[in-house]
Every structure is written in C-alpha cells, then in structure tokens.
Structure 1
Amino acid sequence: MSPGAVGGSTGGGAPRADTFPRLLMELAAQRPDDVAMQEKQYGIWQPITWAGYAERVSDTANGLAALGIERGEIVAVLGDNRPEWLIAELAAQSMGCAVVGIYPTSIGEELRHILTQARARVVVAEDQEQVDKLLRLLEDEAPAGSEPLLVERIVYYDPHGLEQYADTVLLEFTDLEAMGKERAAQQPTWFAEQVASGSADDIAVICTTSGTTSKPKLGELSHSNLLTMGRHLTQVDPITAKDRYVSFLPFAWIGEQMLAVACGLTNGVTISFPEDSSTQRSDLREIGPDVMFSPPRIWESMLSEVQVRIDEAGWLKRKVFGWGYDVGDRTAAMRVSGKKPGAGLALMHKLADVVATRPVRDQLGLARIKRGYTGGAPLGPDVFRFYHAIGVNLKQLYGQTEICGIAVVHRDDDIAFNTVGTPIPGTEMRITDDGEILLRSASVFRGYHRQPEETAATVDADGWLHTGDAGYLDESTGQLVVIDRQKDVLTAPDGTRYSSQFIENKLKFSPYVEESVVFAPGESAEDAGGMTALITLDPATVGSWAEHERLSYTTYTDLAAKPEVYDLIAEEATRANEDLPESIRVTRFVLLHKQLDPDDDEITRTRKVRRNVIADRYGDIIAALRRGDDQVSIRSRITYQDGTSTERELSLEIFDLTTYTIPEGRGRRPVWSGRR
C-alpha cells in the first residue's frame, strides 16, 4: 500500500483526518503532485510534493522503528527549520510517538534537562554544530543526583563537516530513510496500520514553556488540542491552500507549531523554508507570504530597519514618506474601529500607498500580507499603529503553550492597540476577583510531562487553565488587556498598581533600546527611591545614529559608555516617562556594558527576560541605582573574536533623569524615524 492511500476511515468511507499523519495522508491522496514544502538551496527553490512528503514520512517512520523506537516514546528534534524537521515530526507521530522540539540555540544544562525529562533515545539534529553539542553532552558526566541521558542515536540531516566523524552513535538522515525503505519492503502494511491505529488524544508535540523563573516545563499537546485550535482560529481568520507561509521561527516554539503545522496541515498550505538566516529577509520578499506570525522582537526589528533606511534617505524621500504615513495613519485609525474613510481620504490613501507605504511593505516582504499576528509578549501600541499605518493588518494574539498558543485574538476592523482582542470560538475566559486570567477550551493541554503536581496546580478540576497572568476587560471595547504575570504586578506607595513589563515596553519602543529591565525602589533607608532601569542598546540603530553624528567607537561596550549615547537614551526615557503616572516614572538608568544573552541564561530563547537571573547577576548595579550613586564599578569578562578573553574592571555611569530636561525646541521623534 502506498503512503498516500493511508488514512483510515469512519463509516461511509470518509477520511478520519483527526491526527497530523492522517491529514498528511489525505492530502497526499487528494493532491499528490501539489507542492507541500519547498526549501531554498544554492538560490533555487527545491519543492517536495504531498506524495513525496508522505513517502519520506513513511520511510523515516520505518527507519525509527528499525532503530527500536516504539509507540509511546518521545523523539527529540534539535535544529533550524528544514523539511527534515517536519518529516521527523510526522514520522514519529505516525507510529504513535511524540516529538519534543529543542531550540537550536539551547546548550549545556538546558539541553540536558529537556533530553532527560523526555527520556529521548533518538535525537534528530541539524548539523555539525548541534551534533558537537550532543556528543559533548554524552561525554560529560551527569551532575550528581540527576538522571542519566538515554540518547542512543543522533540522526543528522546536514552532513557538511561531519564526513570524518566515526562515532557509532551518529547516523545520517538519508541512511535512516534508506533503512526505512528496506524495512517497508519487508513489512508493506506496517506503516498504514500504525497511522490507522493512532488516536486524536495521543500526544503529538511536547513544547517547552518559556522558563522565565525556572527550568522550562514540557507541555504535552495532543493532536486534538492542536487541530481544534487550528479550526477555531480559521473560523475567525480563514486560511486557504493558496495562502503562502514562510517558516523561519523555531518549531520548538508553540507559535510555529500552531500556524505552520496545525493550520498548515488542516488547510494544505505550502510551507517555504529560507536558505539560511542571512537570506531570510530576501526569501521572505521573494515568497511574499499571505500569513505571518512572529513575536514582538521580529516586528520591532523590522521597524528598526525601516527607521535606519529612512534616516539614510534624502530629505525629499523622508518628506514624501512622512506625508504618506500620516495619511495611512488617519485611514487606519478609522478602519480598525470599523469605520469607512471618506472619498477624499480614500483617494489620498491610494496615492500615498503607491508612492510611500507600499514600497516599504515590499522591502519588508509584506507586500501580499493578508494578516500578520504577534504574540508571546506585549507589542508597544506605537509599533502596532505603525504597521497599520503602512497597510499591514497586524493583530495581537494571546495564549500560552498550555492552550496551544492561542485563546484570544483581534478581529478585523475591531482592533485596539492596547488590547489583545476577544476569545476565539470554543474558548471561555473569566477574570478572577484578584485579576487572574482563566481560560477553558478543548485546546487546554494534557499536562506537564512527568510533573503531575504542577499540572494539578495549573488546571483545576473544572478544566480552567490558571494562566498566572493578570488582566482586565477594557470597558469601552470589551477586549482583554493583559497587564503582566500576576506575581509581577506591584503597587506603588501612592496606591498605583503597575507592571514592570509595561514600563519596560514603554522604554523599548525607542528604536535605540533593545532590552530594558525595570526595578522598583528598594526597602533600605539609604535608597533614593523611584523606579530604576538597566538598559541595553540596539547596536544597529545606535550604531547608525553614531555614524550620522560622526561619533567614533570600537566595541559595544565603548559605544554604551559614550556621554552622547547616554544623552540620546535620556531623551527617549524622558519621552516614555511623559505617558506614565509620576509615581512609576523611571528616575535613574544605566546602560549595561553588554547585551543580554540567552546563553548566559539572562533571557529565554524567545527573548523573555529572566528577572531573577538579572537581579542576582547585576545586584551591585541595581543596588547602586537604588542608592542614587553616580557610578558603579564592576568586573566583567570580555571575549574577543579570536576566542581569547580577559577580565576587566569597568566603571558604568548612572544617569539621573530627575535633573535632565529635553533641550528647548526639540520636537518629538516621529514613529518611523530614529532622528530627532
């Protein structure tokens, strides 16, 4: 029996497409020659048809079985997005196994934690970099008291640099497929039987939580969880087989599993994979996706790119874009509230789109976009507004790994820039008396892998998911406003309730600020009082600004120490303070000598700040900020490009915003520009 004929049926012969593998086999039978996936290699798109996809999944599943993998086990996948990632995922699911995705940037103990929790015996890895990390992990002794690694085979799908590796634990992906093809010839009905015997309630994917306060937990998501979510989302925003989707965010993230896999397979969407990270933007422009889902950092980085380009343009182009943006902003303000622009404004908007905003959308790869989504963290209202002004239908999603990444979304023509929308069909929501957001739907996860106590604390007996997030319903729109993690919502001395994250996002709206971490006043009698902040620079935009100002520098550390850069950030922070109640305005800040790094556990792989790590690692700086000191001395290890490193003593300046005023006559910087 060919893979395309597999699928099982209910009475009457209708396809029983309630699992990912059965959906794939249905698509392979109905559209065998249509393109399912395409990957760019050496500048040429290499297509894989639905029939070819199904055949490779069958071969890989047989190959995994030949390695001794059995129903109920977990297969780990570590690497960037490639067709082999999804082939391995669907192959494992076909034989009743689950897949745990690991971020390609994961290292050391984080990697060990996930592999030991999952008890994975086979890891599918991308390339030499990932293989080296795994081999090193297998060679190292497990920390005292920890579980041993059970990894027996590492299957790699990019052989470059691995030709001379002789370790018997290694196996090339093509060899795994060849093993599977040979096994399938001997057991021709096995694969079809495995797919047919699968259940919608089987675990399909295990996604790690963000792990901002502890080691990430492993959330079990069933086929039913994910496919139900996909159906409910597409009731709000239909997706068709003709829609294009570019997959560049890690499959380990629930957001990519949600859109590329669940919605993609449900609707037969072609998935395109960029050649590598350096060609990602040009590949995005070439494909011109209809749908795109990215966390705020991607949308913010694209805005920063626009700001740099426009700042480098001549005065005429800047003037034309400024006019076009203003027209687009006025039009968008009406459309997001369901109003129709008048004839005059509509005509001006068409002209503005041709000469100003459409070229920007095209440069960003968003020329054909029907809708874009953002989620995982709040997106600043001004950034949100920018995209609508240039004609991008950007919408906020709210959800968690524990509910398949989505529960609440904006509707077209009903978008408020400070909210996340209303629940999707099939989702119930309520706010407790103490402000916690509770969610209930068929997409609530099965539980945390091997952590029943944590599961019981998260999902109550009535099926309500306790998100741990604080929020409220906006009185004018009825839409959900998410404040922050409930434990991080604080009360100022004057009774004002606030979120550090809200203040941080106000600071991060500046194109010059990459990350900010805000701290409340300490309780010591010697503390000066007021909110304080650690700020890291966006090296691209600050570097461009420094070049325009003819300000020379050598390293990031050197740039962050420049008095001119401190003045630049002081103006941005003062602008952010204008919209905040006086009791929660930032009074002092320091420009950190380095960027926050996930490899140092300072931020997660999805770029969420680990506040406890920051508070511990930079305790001396935070204490100096709270005391109102003028500067603070620290010791820092500097690593150079040649791999050598040295420890240096650095003196960081502390800027007091209470004594700073914006120079007279200096206007507010427009959203689309980095220039004053």
Structure 2
Amino acid sequence: MLLPHRLHSHQWYHRTVSQLFAETCSAHADKPAILFEGQPLRFGELFDQVQDMAQGLLELGIDKGDVVSTLPSATPEFAVLYFATLQVGAVVNPLNLLWGTMELQGVLQRNQPKLIVAVDRQGPRDILALLEGALPDLTFEPEMSYPSLPSLKQVVCVGRHGPVPPGYLDVKDLPRPANRTTLQQRQDQCRATDVQFMCQTSGTTSLSKSALWDHRPPLATAHFGARNLRITGQDRFICLAPFYHNSGLFALNMNLAYAGTTLVLMDGFDPAKALDLIEQHQCTCTFGFDAHWQGLRRQPDFEKRQFTISKAILAGEPRTYDLVRDMCPAGATINNLYAQTENGPLVSLADHECVDEAVNKYTHGRPLPGVQVVIKHIDSGARVAQGEAGEICYKSPYLFQGYHRQPEEVDKAFDQEGYFHSGDYGHLDNGYLTYLGRLGGVVKSGGENVSTTRVTTDLLELFEDLFDDVKTVGINDAYWGTRVVSFVRTRDEQPLPPSPELREACKGRMAAYEIPKDFLPWSGEWPVTAEGKIDFKQLQQRAREALGDSHGKR
C-alpha cells in the first residue's frame, strides 16, 4: 500500500512533489482526486490534464527556474496548473487576491515572473482589473508587452465568470502537443533540493517577502500532517482555504501528491456551502482558522446537520479547540499547530496519541522531528528559562532557502547561533510549544510586555459562563504607551458589565498589567481576512472609534 509505506519511510525527504504526484496518480488512477461542483476528477484524468498543461507551458517558453505567478481560485484549473508548473521545473508563485495594486505591483517587480495566470473574478473582486492596475503599461497590441516588467512574456486567464477578454490567452487555448518524453526526463532529473516554490509571507508590517522553498518544506508538512491526523486512503479532505495561502498548498500536496486522498474544493469559503459539501461528500478532515470554525458552527441549522469531520488541524486558541471538540463526533482527532511560511509552513503539531487534553488544548504540540526550538528574550536576545515567554526561534531541516532578491532580509532573520527569528511570541514547556501571537501582538503597556493572545485566553477562562468569545488589541495611548482593549461577545446576548466591574473581577487572577483597560461589547461575526484570520486592524480601528479621546486618560 502506497500511503502506509510513505508514512513509515523517509522517501518523501528525498523525492519531489512531482515524482510523488505521478506515483500517486498511477496507483489510484480510477479514484476521485478532486470533487468540485458535483463533478469528480479522477487521479488518472488529473494526471493527464497536468501533463497536457505542462506541455502547454513548455510551448509558451516556460523553462526550469522561470517564475509562474498565479492569482488563483481554489478550483481544479489551478490545481492542474500548480502541478504542471512543478512538472516543467518552473517556480510556482501564488499571489494574494486581496492585495491592492501597490502591493501586487511591488511583489511582481521583485519576483520577475515570466508568466502570470489569473482568474477573471473572485467573488465581487475583478482580478483582471487589479492586475491591470498593478501593470499600468500592459498592452496587447500588436502583441503583449509590459516595458516595466521585461521578464513577463504572457498573461493567461482562467475565465470562470464569462468570456476571456481580448488580449489575454485563454487557459483553454494553451497548445497541447502530444509528445511527453521531455516531461518524463524533467521529472527524473528534478531533485528534492531544487527550489520550485516562491511563497509570500503575510506582509503584516511591510511588503510581502517571497520565501523560496525546495521540495522538503511542503512535503514535511504533508508527511507530518498526514501522520498526526491518522490519514487513510478513505479520508476526504475539504479545503476551506484559498490556493494563495499555505494551507491551500498543504491541501494540494498532502491529498493529491502524498496521501492519495480525495480533495473537495469550493471556490471561496462560504460556511453554508461548506456544510452542504461536508454532508454531501461525507468529508472527514480539514484545516481551519478560528473564523472558519466559528462560521460553520454559527450557521442556524448546524445542529440539524450531519457534521462528519473527525480529523481536524487548527490554527487557533484554546477557545477554538473547545469549539471544534464540541462540533466534531466523539473521539475526533484535533491537532493544534504552529506554522510559518519560512518553514514550509509547519513548525510544530499536536499528536493524535497525546491523551492529555490540557496539552492538546493549551499548546501547539511538539516541534516536528529535527526542528530545534529555543525561546529568546525579545530585547536582549538571550535564551529565557523554561516556561518563560519570548521570541520563538528555531533551526530546521525544512527551512526556506532565503527571500528572493532580498539577501539583507535573510541576514536580519538569523542570529549568530544560526537560529531563525520567527517574529512570534511564545513559550516552550517540557518540549511543548505554545504560540502567543506575533510580536506585533505583544504590546508594551506601562513598560510591561503583554500578549494580547494570552489576555484573550485568560478572560475566556475567568468568565466562561458570561463570555462567548473575546478578541484583544492594543491601541496607542498617551499614558500607557499602548492601551489593552478587549472586545467581548457575551453568551445568549447577556449585557456586558461595566469595565470597572470586570477589571475588579480580574484582580489577583491576572497580572495587573495584563488586565484590559476597557471591555467593549461585540455582537455577530468577527471581521476576517480572506485567509479566515481575524482582521485585528479593523478591530483596532473600531476600538479607537469607540473610545475616542478617552483612551488618552488613565
């Protein structure tokens, strides 16, 4: 059996995604690989489509090392493109559909793609208009040219919402020569250490950086994800994430290249539609951020649904763990993770064999085998005592190969001991890692470091009968430096007590400097980004608006 053999060997570390994908498709030719809009695409058919598109890319002049940037929808066309790009030896570079023109323009100028493949629309967003805004001197007559980006040779459009506009090459019109000998040679010559992935960081504080992966980072995530989730050939994975996010790439690699499991796709996350698909296809596993799980659970008819997810990976807080445990069938495997783009992205993951519920709930598991994690003081850089919070730093056999055309950023990311500085706040206890938020989520209030994530967790523990959910932010304050503010959604629409009363209840149970200065009521869903993460920038703005000038007072 292919999957058990892979799970009990190191072959994934020495192979490429393309080689594993070809082997998987051959072994499961008649099995559904992708289910989308009621139509199955079998592994044998998927492989043929990948081969055809790879030949088309070669005919367009795409060669080994060329960058193919995509503005992708989570649809079969872009799954095919993903594997076809790897098949020819080119570098796949998914780009965020929610960027503005300035961000997109800056990243394209740095990445220098030879080919761009874009969906025409995603929900209400006109993706081609976004692209044209980022490439203002893009012309199609007499032939396509873009003087400001001389590397670019062609723009291909996937027309999901209407005819492809004039000038763009329709993906359906890619040339399809019959000779596949060259493709097999390329697959055989490819090595696990070849850089074929250019993945964008979140870019929360500056222009998104382009992290370079060889095949080992994404396959480590696929291997350990499948192992710790107890994936079998009978599982069906529903992808809730977009293909430009690392969790979308994880779904492609783990299911279609590594495990040979069926992948259920949806073009944009919609919780009601997701519940329909889970029920219709008896989906058994998925990955989700907090907002994904909340969106599913808060559907009015959730209790009447057959929710068959029994294997779940989370990127969430203890509150999210409890929520998912309540949603899933008894005995479900629920694994918390800590991930970063620079490590492909998995750094640590809970194990299904851990029977200590508190460990599963309050930590993000153990570092992957081979990953060495230390915690360093955020100011001095010295290692801190066990259990003390600081910056998460690590060495890893799955680390990225640098940032594309940004050597100075690589130099800044590593210290003299060779540890990569994550920019994340957390602690390590007896081998278990707990992520407490980005260092940007660690605020200096009254001279003390305060983790907004830890404040949120403590409040949900203290007021479990009153608080349904909490999100904590920091806003600038003339007196405190940063003022800690918590938005509270109460259970059953109970009234939120005044801030002084809640603060008094926290005294002696939370560190004095961690107690929020203000508690603000919230109802309904939290604002989220397209990746399903909480949009804390919106919450900060709402806090500033709600408090006005008062936040400059004690």
TM-score (norm 2): 0.79
| RMSD (Å), alpha carbons | 3.9
Distance 1:71 1:82 in 2: 25
Identify the residue that residue 456 of structure 1 maps to in structure 2.
Answer: 411
User: Where does 1:472-483 land on structure 2 (aligned, <5 Å)?
Assistant: 472-474=427-429, 478-483=431-436
Which residue of 2 is the match for residue 137 of structure 1?
134
User: Distance in 1 between the 2:234 and 2:524 partners?
Assistant: 45
Question: For the residues of structure 1 that align with 2:425 and 2:115, how far apart are their CA atoms?
Answer: 40
Cross-structure match for 1:581: 511
Residue 414 of structure 1 aligns with which residue?
356
Classify the secondary structure of the residue corresponding to 1:213: coil
5 Å-filtered alignment, 1:587-602, equals 587-588=517-518
Q: Is the 1:532–1:589 contact (alpha carbons within 8 Å) kept by the matching residues of 2?
A: no
Which protein has the larger Cα radius of gyration, Structure 1 or Structure 2? 1
The equivalent position to 2:319 in structure 1, one of 382, 388, 391, is 382
Q: Does 1:219 align with 2:249?
A: no
Q: Kindly provide the CA deviation profile for residues 27-59 of structure 1, in whole angstroms up to 9, marking residues without a partner as x.
A: 23222222221211xxxx211222211111111
Q: Matched residue pairs, number?
A: 507
Q: 1:534 to 1:150 in 2, by over 3 A?
A: farther
Partner of 1:403: 343
AA partner of residue 302 (structure 1) = L
Amino acid at match of 1:574: L
Shift in Å, 1:515:
5.5
Unaligned runs of 5+ in 1: 1-13, 310-358, 546-564, 630-676
- The amino acid of 2:210's aligned partner reads L
**In structure 1, which of residues 66, 69, 79 is the aligned counterpart of residue 72 of structure 2?**
79
Distance 1:588 1:461 in 2: 41
Counterpart amino acid of residue 19 in structure 2: R
- What SS does the corresponding residue of 1:76 show, helix, strand or coil? strand
Aligned residues: percent identity? 22
Please say which of residues 381-390 and 91-100 is displaced more in the overlay.
Answer: 381-390
Superposition deviation, residue 506 in structure 1: 6.1
- Is residue 507–residue 516 contact of structure 1 (8 Å, CA) maintained in 2? no
Q: What is the CA–CA distance in structure 2 between the aligned matches of 1:116 and 1:153, rounded to whole Å?
A: 15
What secondary structure is seen at the aligned counterpart in 1 of 2:345?
coil
Decide whether aligned partners of structure 1 residues 401 and 131 sit closer, same or farther in structure 2, where only a CA change above 3 A counts. Answer: same
Structure 2 residue 451 is the aligned partner of structure 1 residue 499: yes
CA distance in 2, matches of 1:596, 1:275: 21
CA contact (8 A) 2:64 2:90 kept: yes
Alignment gaps of 5+ in structure 2: 1-10, 139-146, 377-382, 385-389
1:455-504 alpha-carbon deviations (Å, 9 max, x no partner): 12224576532212232233xx65222233346535654x8642134335
Give the CA deviation at 1:198: 1.5
Alignment of 1:110-121 (within 5 A): 110-121=103-114
3-state DSSP class of the match of 1:203?
A: coil
1:94 and 2:47 aligned: no
Superposed counterparts of 1:348-359, under 5 Å: none
1:21 matched to 2:21? The reply is: no
- Return the offset for 1:596: 8.9
Q: Give the match for residue 228 of structure 2.
A: 236
Question: Which residue is 2:394 aligned to?
Answer: 439
Map residues 109-508 of structure 1 onto 2, 5 A cutoff. 109-128=102-121, 129-139=126-136, 148=149, 150-162=151-163, 165-166=165-166, 168=167, 170-176=168-174, 179=175, 181=176, 183=177, 185=178, 187-262=179-254, 264-274=256-266, 277-278=269-270, 279-305=273-299, 360=303, 363=305, 366-367=307-308, 369-375=309-315, 378-379=316-317, 381-390=318-327, 391=330, 392-412=332-352, 413-416=355-358, 417-432=361-376, 433-434=383-384, 435-460=390-415, 463-474=418-429, 478-486=431-439, 488-490=441-443, 493=446, 497-504=449-456
Kindly indicate whether the alpha-carbon contact (under 8 Å) linking 2:444 and 2:482 is maintained by their aligned counterparts in 1.
no
Measured at CA, do residues 604 and 219 of structure 1 come closer, stay the same or move farther in structure 2, by a change above 3 Å? Answer: farther
Q: Taking structure 1 as reference, are residues 573 and 92 closer, same or farther at Cα in structure 2, changes over 3 Å only?
A: farther
The residue identity in structure 1 corresponding to 2:172 is T
Shift of 1:454: 1.1
CA distance in 2, matches of 1:468, 1:132: 34
| Aligned AA (2:290) | P
Deviation of the 1:398 alpha carbon: 0.8
CA distance, structure 2, for counterparts of residue 237 and residue 214 of structure 1 = 35
Distance in 2 of aligned mates of 1:496 and 1:489 = 10
| SS class of match (2:198) | strand
Are residues 446 and 437 of structure 1, via their aligned partners in 2, closer, same or farther at CA, if it must alter by over 3 Å? same
Q: Which moved more, 1:575-584 or 1:117-126?
A: 575-584
Deviations 1:196-245 (A, max 9, x none): 22121122322211111111111111112221333334443432222111
Q: 1:609 to 1:65 in 2, by over 3 A?
A: same
Equivalent residues of 1:205, 1:222 under 8 A apart: yes
Amino acid at match of 2:442: V
Conserved in 2, the CA contact under 8 Å of 1:503 and 1:518? no
Q: Which has the higher helix share?
A: 1
What displacement does 1:16 show?
11
- Partners in 1 of 2:450 and 2:412 — Cα distance? 26
Amino acid at match of 1:580: M
In 2: Cα distance, 1:267 partner to 1:572 partner: 54
Q: Which whole-Å CA distance do the structure 2 matches of 1:173 and 1:425 have between them?
A: 41
* Alignment partners' CA distance in 2, 1:17 and 1:37: 26
2:13 touches 2:216 (CA, 8 Å); kept in 1? no
Q: What secondary structure does 1:215 align onto?
A: coil
| CA shift for structure 1 position 513 | 6.6
Code of the residue aligned with 2:365 in structure 1: it is: G
Alignment of 1:518 onto 2:474: yes
**Quick one: which amino acid aligns to residue 109 of structure 2?**
T
Work out the CA distance in 2 between the residues paired with 1:591 and 1:111. 36
Q: Residues 460 and 533 of structure 1: is their aligned pair in 2 closer, same or farther, counting only changes over 3 Å?
A: closer
Deviation of 1:585 after TM superposition, in Å, equals 2.0
Secondary structure of residue in 2 paired with 1:448: coil
Structure 1's 617 and 248: CA in aligned 2 closer, same or farther, altered over 3 A? Answer: closer
